[in-house]
């Protein structure tokens, strides 16, 4: 799930009776202007403004962290806290579905929010251990929720793999899927669920809708068996991988059974055994240890298996023949 930011024109005007500031708003992004340059950052907050009280929840933190509230008054398009412990906001722009705030002490930052529709009932969804195929943002991908915190996405178009952290966050009757990669955390509003579909919305520079379709994941029978090493190819444009993980480029034999996958190493009597599963795309093998290891299936026939070791350091292709 990728974001592509565009520049926005910030229109300055005061609040009007038709554009009430009251309601629940999700942070879309933070607009930053420094030294003549403009950039965008994630804004993982939900705010609620009601009866002259301002509620703020930072998403992605521990359960009891990141929540605050204060009483305020509005004066000339400014939110002024009644106590000195909180900073106020300038109201830069307000429409029926968007709100732009700035902090008087930090004028180079603009906080852009989108209004959420009222909800009377919370949506409960737990994707743990489930697999989905989804479409949205001009892409199609598989999402594998391996456990209670790790998910893997496999992009069908670009054949890319991304390993992310996930969680479900709640604010009153709103529920969000939080997806965290190495750089950012992205909230997705959970709109509705059925027995086989989950509908999500990303509210950033543009509104993007995603349809998660539940998949049935069955281990492929043609992958099971004993596979003996045939050949290795290393991408020499990248540095060699340090062998502090299992020594992947010395895997002499793979023994794949219904309930385990065993790796036997060249020149050693040692082996490593894993619980395993495949992605619903049948393109990835997940090995469950302290951390999940991933093998990408490049080719599978009745008598030959070619896999690629997925690593940030290099790419190693290993070929095996069925015994």
Q: Say yes or no to pLDDT of 234 above 60.
A: no
**What φ, ψ does residue 248 adopt, rounded to 5°?**
-65, -35
Residue 235's pLDDT band, with cuts at 50, 70 and 90, is: low
Those residues with Cβ within 8 angstroms of residue 313's Cβ, 6 or more apart along the chain or in another chain: 238, 239, 240, 241, 242
| Least confident range of 13-17, 146-150, 159-163, 210-214 | 13-17
Q: Say yes or no to pLDDT of 304 above 90.
A: yes
Those residues with Cβ within 8 angstroms of residue 166's Cβ, 6 or more apart along the chain or in another chain: 127, 145, 149, 150, 151, 177, 178, 179, 180
Most confident of 60-69, 198-207, 305-314: 198-207
Q: Say yes or no to pLDDT of 3 above 50.
A: no
Those residues with Cβ within 8 angstroms of residue 108's Cβ, 6 or more apart along the chain or in another chain: 32, 33, 34
User: Rounded to whole angstroms, how far apart are CA atoms 202 and 41?
Assistant: 15
Residue 105 or 200, more confident: 200
What would the pLDDT profile of 280-289 be if each residue is shown by its tens digit? 989 999 998 8
What number is the average pLDDT over the span 264-293? Answer: 88
Residue 233's pLDDT band, with cuts at 50, 70 and 90, is: low
Q: Say yes or no to pLDDT of 159 above 50.
A: yes
Residue found by looking up tokens 């994707």 in the block: 127
Retrieve residue 144's tokens: 């594998």
Residue 17 or 150, more confident: 150
Length of the chain: 323
Retrieve residue 148's tokens: 């209670």
Pair 57, 141: CB distance under 8 Å: no
What percent of the chain is modeled with pLDDT above 90? 55
Residue 217's pLDDT band, with cuts at 50, 70 and 90, is: confident
Residue 15 or 62, more confident: 62
70 burial (CB, 10 Å; 0-12 / 13-18 / 19+) is: middle
Residue 47 or 239, more confident: 47
Q: Report which of 149, 182, 184, 152 is spatially closest to residue 168, judged by C-alpha positions.
A: 149
> Which residues, listed in sequence order, are joined to residue 188 by a DSSP beta bridge?
177
Residue 310's pLDDT band, with cuts at 50, 70 and 90, is: low
The pLDDT, as a whole number, for residue 323 is 92
The pLDDT, as a whole number, for residue 112 is 96
pTM of the model: 0.81
The pLDDT, as a whole number, for residue 8 is 31
What would the pLDDT profile of 66-119 be if each residue is shown by its tens digit? 789 999 998 878 999 999 889 899 999 999 999 999 998 888 889 999 999 999
The pLDDT, as a whole number, for residue 13 is 34
Retrieve residue 23's tokens: 């309601």
Q: Report which of 238, 215, 205 is spatially closest to residue 43, judged by C-alpha positions.
A: 205
Per-residue CA distances from 219 to 98, 285, 310, 320 (Å):
47, 10, 20, 19
The pLDDT, as a whole number, for residue 268 is 80
Q: What is the mean pLDDT of the chain?
A: 84
The pLDDT, as a whole number, for residue 38 is 87
160: number of Cβ within 10 Å: 11
274 burial (CB, 10 Å; 0-12 / 13-18 / 19+) is: middle
Q: Report which of 124, 89, 112 is spatially closest to residue 42, judged by C-alpha positions.
A: 112
User: Rounded to whole angstroms, how far apart are CA atoms 110 and 33?
Assistant: 9
3: number of Cβ within 10 Å: 15
């Amino acid at each position: 799930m990728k974001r592509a930011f565009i520049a926005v024109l910030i229109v300055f005007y005061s609040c009007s009776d038709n554009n009430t500031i009251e309601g629940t708003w999700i942070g879309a992004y933070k607009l930053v202007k420094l030294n003549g340059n403009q950039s965008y950052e994630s804004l993982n907050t939900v705010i609620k403004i009601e009866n002259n009280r301002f509620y703020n929840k930072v998403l992605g933190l521990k359960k009891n962290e990141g929540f605050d509230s204060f009483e305020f008054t509005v004066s000339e398009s400014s939110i002024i806290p009644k106590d000195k412990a909180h900073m106020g906001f300038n109201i830069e722009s307000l429409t029926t579905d968007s709100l732009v705030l700035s902090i008087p002490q930090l004028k180079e930052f603009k906080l852009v929010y989108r209004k959420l529709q009222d909800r009377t009932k919370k949506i409960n969804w737990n994707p743990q251990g489930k697999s989905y195929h989804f479409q949205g943002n001009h892409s199609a991908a598989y999402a594998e929720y391996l456990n209670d915190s790790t998910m893997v996405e496999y992009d069908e178009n670009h054949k890319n793999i991304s390993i992310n952290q996930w969680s479900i966050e709640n604010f009153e009757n709103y529920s969000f899927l939080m997806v965290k990669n190495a750089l950012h955390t992205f909230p997705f509003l959970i709109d509705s669920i059925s027995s086989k579909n989950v509908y999500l919305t990303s509210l950033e520079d543009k509104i993007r809708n995603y349809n998660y379709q539940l998949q049935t994941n069955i281990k492929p029978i043609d992958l099971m068996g004993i596979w003996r090493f045939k050949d290795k190819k290393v991408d020499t444009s990248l540095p060699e991988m340090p062998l502090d993980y299992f020594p992947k480029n010395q895997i002499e034999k793979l023994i794949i059974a219904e309930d385990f996958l065993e790796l036997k190493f060249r020149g050693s009597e040692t082996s490593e055994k894993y619980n395993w599963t495949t992605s619903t795309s049948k393109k990835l093998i997940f090995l469950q240890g302290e951390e999940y290891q991933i093998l990408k299936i490049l080719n599978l026939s009745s008598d030959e298996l070619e896999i690629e070791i997925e690593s940030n350091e290099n790419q190693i292709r290993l070929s095996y023949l069925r015994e």
